[in-house]
Amino acid sequence: MTVITGKINEIIKPENLVYAKSPLLNDVSMHYCPGCSHGVVHRLIAEVIDEMGIQEQTIGVSPVGCAVFAYNYIDIDWQEAAHGRAPAVATGIKRVMPEKYVFSYQGDGDLAAIGTAETFHAVNRGENIVMIFINNAIYGMTGGQMAPTTLVGQVTSTTPNGRNVDLNGYPLRITELIAQLPGAAFVTRQSVQTPAAVRKTKKAIRKAFEIQAQKKGTSFVEVVSTCSSGWKLSPVASNKWMEENMFPQYPLGDLKDTGRADPDLYKVKG
Amino acid sequence: MAKVRGAVVVDNEECKGCNLCVVACPTLTLALNRNVNNKGYHYSYMENPENCTGCSNCSTVCPDSCITVYRVKVEQ
Ligand SMILES: Cc1ncc(C[n+]2csc(CCOP(=O)(O)OP(=O)(O)O)c2C)c(N)n1
Ligand code: SF4
Ligand code: SF4
Ligand code: SF4
Ligand SMILES: [Mg+2]
């Protein structure tokens, strides 16, 4: 035990380090708004890849949306996909290089609107990829328009009086639908607004990557997220709004953890 | 008696003043500075450094990875 008086400069020494920025996060500022959930999830992905020692074997596929520049931030190989097509691009990469760890990273507009077909079919094929889904219930990048996941009554720039079901339909719980598909191995919904929630999300991301190595099918990790700029709230108020309004509609927890279905169950008899 | 003491170093220029670390700190160590950095943000700093236990809650929620945490057992 170190005998010290507790002065700051006696604490701040390399041997006392308990947390530092991941070496896989590049030395550049992220362009995200203050408090944006994208930054936290980027850090968790970097930490998981670093802790698993798979930096050289991992390929990310970045979306169109605020996370379009994800390739600038995490020091791995990346491919940028056209809007919504990340799961299709990830499929191609994984099939050509099955020994690599491949993941897609997408927002709700990318994954659950323009890319719905790619999302469902990649999971239905049980592609051995990880899909990370940042659900902030809005199109953040383009100025806060309604997304499929926008809540009823939620004000956005295209629903100035709040989302109206008669006009705009219902919020899409795409993760519940994904969990129905036989190709899905592990489907979970997490969040990153508290230290405990962040740790759970990191465990879920790690598990998703491990399942990929076991070739069990698609892992799908939704992170219920904030977009303080789109929601026009402070980052702290956004977290509170998310807990009060998003969590009842998008409840946290694992939705499936069985591995992909046995193909024999789906075979013709003769 | 052994006690845990901690300290954090905030990268002032990377900090965006989002306040998430301040509300995540269980010991009221952190606050946003009256001064701003070159980007115009009120950066986080240890207002009450003697309170810090090095629990890492602040660095765990920081979206911009700008907090480094140190922890040591202190003999009094
Ligand atoms: C083919 C095409 N259609 C529309 C757009 C405009 N656009 C850019 S990002 C985006 C949606 C982004 O929302 P989301 O995926 O939820 O990401 P976020 O920014 O919220 O993280 C849209 C519609 C585009 N770039 N390309
Ligand atoms: S617009 Fe929203 S999602 Fe995009 S960086 Fe800002 S807070 Fe994040
Ligand atoms: S390490 Fe813990 S006690 Fe110290 S500033 Fe961070 S949250 Fe507060
Ligand atoms: S969480 Fe990070 S970016 Fe936000 S105020 Fe604290 S140190 Fe700054
Ligand atoms: Mg979005």
Give CA–CA dist A120/A118, Å, rounded.
6
Compute the average pLDDT of residues A4-9.
72
pLDDT at B76: 66
Domains, chain A, ranges and CATH? 26-260 (3.40.50.970)
pTM of full prediction above 0.95: yes
List the single residue in B6, B68, B75 with the smallest CB-CB distance to A20: B68
B59 contacts in chain A (CB < 8 Å):
19
What is the third-level CATH fold of B3-74? Alpha-Beta Plaits (3.30.70)
Confidence of residue A112 (pLDDT cuts 50, 70, 90): very high
Q: Answer whether A38 contacts ligand 2 (Cβ < 6 A).
A: yes
How close does chain B come to A270, measured CA to CA in Å? 56
B71 contacts in chain A (CB < 8 Å):
11, 16, 18
Answer yes or no: are the C-beta atoms of B6 and A19 closer than 8 Å: no
Give CA–CA dist A156/A146, Å, rounded.
6
CA trace torsion A234, A238, A241, A245 (10° rounding): 150
Pocket test for ligand 4, best of B39, B58, B66 (most atoms within 8 A of CB): B66
Confidence of residue B2 (pLDDT cuts 50, 70, 90): low
A132, two tokens: 């990370």
Q: Report the mean per-residue pLDDT for chain B.
A: 96
Any long-range contacts for B56-59 (C-beta under 8 Å, 24+ apart)? B56/A18, B56/A19, B56/A195, B57/A195, B57/B21, B57/B24, B57/B25, B57/B26, B58/B8, B58/B21, B58/B22, B58/B24, B58/B25, B58/B29, B58/B30, B59/A19, B59/B8, B59/B21
B6 forms beta bridges with B71
With CA atoms as reference, report the closest residue to A201 among A222, A178, A186, A177: A222
pLDDT at A270: 86
Q: Answer whether A229 contacts ligand 2 (Cβ < 6 A).
A: yes
**A139 CA closest ligand 1 atom index:** 13
User: Could you identify the residue written with the tokens 């003769």?
Assistant: A270
A222 forms beta bridges with A133, A189
Among protein residues, the one with the nearest Cα to ligand 3's atom 6 is: B58
Question: CB distance from A39 to chain B under 8 Å?
Answer: yes
A41, two tokens: 């999830």
Per-residue CA distances from A232 to A34, A102, B64 (Å): 12, 34, 20
Task: Tell me if B14 and A236 make a contact (CB, 8 A cut-off).
Answer: no
CB neighbour list of residue A80: distance below 8 Å, 6 or more residues apart: A61, A62, A68, A71
pLDDT surpassing 70 at residue A10: yes
**B53 CA closest ligand 3 atom index:** 3
Q: Report the mean per-residue pLDDT for chain A.
A: 97
**B67 CA closest ligand 4 atom index:** 7
pLDDT surpassing 90 at residue A4: no
ipTM: 0.96
Residue-wise DSSP of A202-226: HHHHHHHHHHHHTT--EEEEEEE--
Compute the average pLDDT of residues A230-238.
98
Give CA–CA dist A134/A105, Å, rounded.
8
A13 contacts in chain B (CB < 8 Å):
70
A235 contacts in chain B (CB < 8 Å):
18-20
Counting residues of chain B whose pLDDT is more than 70, the rounded percentage is: 96
Among protein residues, the one with the nearest Cα to ligand 4's atom 1 is: B62
**Beta carbon pairs, A and B, within 8 Å:** 108
B73, two tokens: 């057992």
Compute the average pLDDT of residues A239-250.
98
pLDDT at A1: 45
Compute the average pLDDT of residues B3-12.
96
Give CA–CA dist A35/A31, Å, rounded.
11
The residues on B that touch A, with CB distances below 8 Å, are 2-3, 5-7, 9, 14, 16-20, 23-24, 41, 46, 49-50, 54, 56-57, 59-76
**A235 CA closest ligand 4 atom index:** 4
pLDDT at A70: 98
Q: A214-228: per-residue pLDDT in tens?
A: 999 999 999 999 999
Q: A30-88: per-residue pLDDT in tens?
A: 999 999 999 999 999 999 999 999 999 999 999 999 999 999 999 999 999 999 999 99
Per-residue CA distances from A182 to A76, A216, A254, A259, A265 (Å): 30, 11, 16, 9, 10
Distance of CA A221 to the CA centre of its chain: 6
Confidence of residue A5 (pLDDT cuts 50, 70, 90): low
pLDDT at B70: 98
Angle, CA A50 vertex, CA A259 and CA A196 arms, to 5°: 70
